[in-house]
Amino acid sequence: MPVKKSELYSSLWASCDELRGGMDASQYKDYVLVLLFVKYVSDKAASQKNYLLDVPKGGSFADMVALKGDKEIGDKMNKIIAKLAEANDLKGVIDVADFNDADKLGKGKGMVDRLTNLVSIFDNPSLDFSANRAEGDDLLGDAYEFLMRHFATESGKSKGQFYTPAEVSRVMAKVVGVGGAKSASQTIHDPTCGSGSLLLKAHDEAKGATGHDLALYGQEMDNATAALAQMNMILHDCVTAEIWKDNVLANPHFKEARTGQLKTFDFVVANPPFSFKAWSNGFHPDNDEFHRFQFGVPPQKNGDLAFVLHILTCLKSTGKAAVNLPHGVLFRGGAEAAIRREIIRRGYIKGIIGLPANLFYGTGIPACILVLDKENAAARKGIFMIDASKGFIKDGNKNRLRAQDIHKIVDTFTRLAEVPRYSRMVSLAEIGDPKNDFNLNLPRYIDSTEPEDLQDIDAPTCAAASRIATLTPSNATGRSSPASAPRCSRRPSRLRRKAPAHQAAPATASSGSPSPTSSPPSSATRSSPPSTNPPPGSLPSGRRPTPRACAASPRAANPRPSLKRFPKTCSPPSRGPGCSTPTTCISTSWTSGPRPCRTTFT
């Protein structure tokens, strides 16, 4: 029965809990992953007759189980691991951790109990790895990367270098084109392989798409990280992969036996250390025996393009590469500008993919994937650019690419589809124009800013006016008429200033013409003596006010309007108190104060 991922993760974290307190979190891997490795190969060798690794007598996980409670368990576990390493040429790979270290694991009974509990966690019937790949499942490899991801998180910048996020590795494996591999004789190389996760993602992409088992070659400078890569290859059943520990710039390991020049590969994937300052240690770039710096020598304190030039030298004439780099390589000047100009002119750059910031452990700066292609370089007329900096999700204190983000990047790049504010094919002529001067900074060519969301500030006011229209009387019968409803006169910047409430005209005049259902003013109305009119500008043009006397009131001369008023209609028409002629009584009810005087229009 296949191992459940949840059970495996639970066991791995339980083992980390046993080690807490005696060592830094970055050192958990030295113990936990070695036990994981021994358990895995022991189960495989027990279930497969022709397993590629040899598990000698006295060098299996079962021998560790027999030591539970033993007073010398630490020393004897070291001997078991040493036997397994010697039988499979893994010295310096799996025998780095000292299980008899009293400073880290405790003394006396404390060490015995801790190691006994540690072995017991893996001695679980539910953790039987003998059939975990029976149906192509790579459960243990995923768990291995899961642990490394958390180790990189807890140990910070010092160990963040050995892990490339799985989502970024997946994007690089797809855009580099290994899915189009033509034969199993083709090769994949990672000159800065770290723990090997990026190299394995490219291998799995090729095997899943074509069925070809491509040969893997990796080189890593850090000793402990190179050991992780070798174990990772075995855990993923890539036992024939070649991993070498050394500085790839000063001492590249993979060379042609006949010429002594660098070995060339069909595909290269790499995530070199960002802005590596000691890149030239150990050799003289000006007199490089492999002729890697013919386009120029990168700055002494910035080695990003040194790795790019090394990769270009390692590619076959039909080779392709995907390199993860900081954005500075796209626009920095000086020696880097001259190198960038030569690379662009030769058509080696097929595409550039800008990634979100804060994806990588140990740094929060944004990165980009530089896609190189020698096969079609001579006919290349442009560079396809993608700005995917806004497609991510927050995951704790880091950002992470989602499945839809990966799909969008890969699909857009594969089809070379131009998407507004996301991707564009930029011609080499435009890039070489004096105003750009071979600057590849993505914002120069792709405006990814979203258009401003314009708000109609008049809309709420006009909607309110429409609702008020249904309450505004327009004729003597008190019925509302659509023709007499208030109209919204919109202006592009701000609304019209309305007259004060106690000076406002009736709704019958607000539309600019009398309501067809209203009665014409009487002669008495037209001949009424003049009185104080509302201020100029508060009445529609072409109309003159005719005052009406209102009932005497102690506060009529100085009405006090409030924020709320409610229109109402008096029906039938009657002679208002103090008014000389019959007229329609259109009153306004205020929350406080008397009814103000009204003015009608003739």
pLDDT surpasses 60 at 583 = no
137 and 185 together in one domain? no
Q: Structure pTM?
A: 0.71
19 and 93 together in one domain? yes
146 and 283 together in one domain? no
Residue 201 in domain: yes
Residue bearing tokens 């060798």:
45
Specify the pLDDT at position 153.
54
pLDDT surpasses 60 at 354 = yes
Query: Cα separation of 328 and 473, whole Å?
Result: 70
Average confidence (pLDDT) over 45-59: 87
Specify the pLDDT at position 523.
43
Specify the pLDDT at position 472.
54
Q: Which residue has the higher pLDDT, 270 or 48?
A: 270
Average confidence (pLDDT) over 32-54: 86
Query: Cα separation of 591 and 58, whole Å?
Result: 97
pLDDT surpasses 70 at 477 = no
Question: Mean pLDDT across the chain, nearest whole number?
Answer: 78
Specify the pLDDT at position 600.
45
Specify the pLDDT at position 444.
93
Residue 522 in domain: no
Specify the pLDDT at position 191.
96
Look at the chain and report how many structural domains it folds into.
Answer: 3
Average confidence (pLDDT) over 185-207: 93
Q: Burial-class residue 332 by CB neighbours within 10 Å (0-12, 13-18, 19+).
A: buried
422 and 330 together in one domain? yes
The DSSP bridge partners found for residue 326 are 367
99 and 220 together in one domain? no
69 and 208 together in one domain? no
Residue 496 banded pLDDT, cuts 50, 70, 90: very low
Half-sphere exposure at residue 328, Cβ-oriented, CA atoms within 13 angstroms:
15
Specify the pLDDT at position 23.
74
212 and 116 together in one domain? no
The DSSP bridge partners found for residue 243 are 218
Q: Which residue has the higher pLDDT, 102 or 575?
A: 102
pLDDT surpasses 60 at 335 = yes
Distances (CA, A) of 406 to 166, 322, 353, 368: 11, 15, 11, 14
Residue 516 in domain: no
Tokens coding 19: 């080690």
For the chain, percent of residues with pLDDT exceeding 70 = 69
Residue 594 in domain: yes
Q: Which of 300-309, 373-382, 531-540 shows the lowest per-residue confidence on average (mean pLDDT)?
A: 531-540
Q: Which residue has the higher pLDDT, 74 or 13?
A: 74
Q: What are phi and psi of 528, to 5 degrees?
A: -65, 145
The domain that holds 27 is classified in CATH as 1.20.1260.30
39: closest CA among 55, 18, 23, 52? 55
Three-state DSSP state, 317: strand
Tell me which of 428, 451, 474 is where a domain ends.
451
Residue 31 in domain: yes
Q: Which residue has the higher pLDDT, 564 or 429?
A: 429
Query: Cα separation of 93 and 228, whole Å?
Result: 7
305 and 410 together in one domain? yes
Tell me which of 417, 451, 485 is where a domain ends.
451
Q: What are phi and psi of 367, to 5 degrees?
A: -125, 170
326: closest CA among 364, 357, 298, 367? 367
Residue 181 in domain: yes
Three-state DSSP state, 25: helix
Residue 174 in domain: yes
Residue 540 in domain: no
Q: What are phi and psi of 27, to 5 degrees?
A: -95, -5
Specify the pLDDT at position 197.
87
104 and 185 together in one domain? no
205 and 140 together in one domain? no
Residue 241 banded pLDDT, cuts 50, 70, 90: very high
Residue 556 banded pLDDT, cuts 50, 70, 90: very low
Query: Cα separation of 477 and 468, whole Å?
Result: 18
Q: Which of 228-232, 297-301, 451-455 shows the lowest per-residue confidence on average (mean pLDDT)?
A: 451-455
Contact 453, 459 (CB under 8 A): no
Contact 225, 275 (CB under 8 A): no
pLDDT surpasses 90 at 298 = yes
Distances (CA, A) of 429 to 423, 425, 594: 18, 12, 79
The domain that holds 193 is classified in CATH as 3.40.50.150
188 and 153 together in one domain? no
DSSP string, 375-420: TTTTT--EEEEEE-TT--EEETTEEE--HHHHHHHHHHHHHT---T
Q: Which residue has the higher pLDDT, 6 or 40?
A: 40
Q: Which of 315-319, 345-349, 355-359, 555-559 shows the lowest per-residue confidence on average (mean pLDDT)?
A: 555-559
Written as one letter, the residue type at 437 is D
Specify the pLDDT at position 113.
92
DSSP string, 335-379: HHHHHHHHHHHTT-EEEEEEPPSS-STT--S-EEEEEEESTTTTT
101 and 177 together in one domain? no
DSSP state, 272? P
Tell me which of 158, 192, 223 is where a domain ends.
158
Residue 145 banded pLDDT, cuts 50, 70, 90: low
Domain that holds residue 141: 1-158
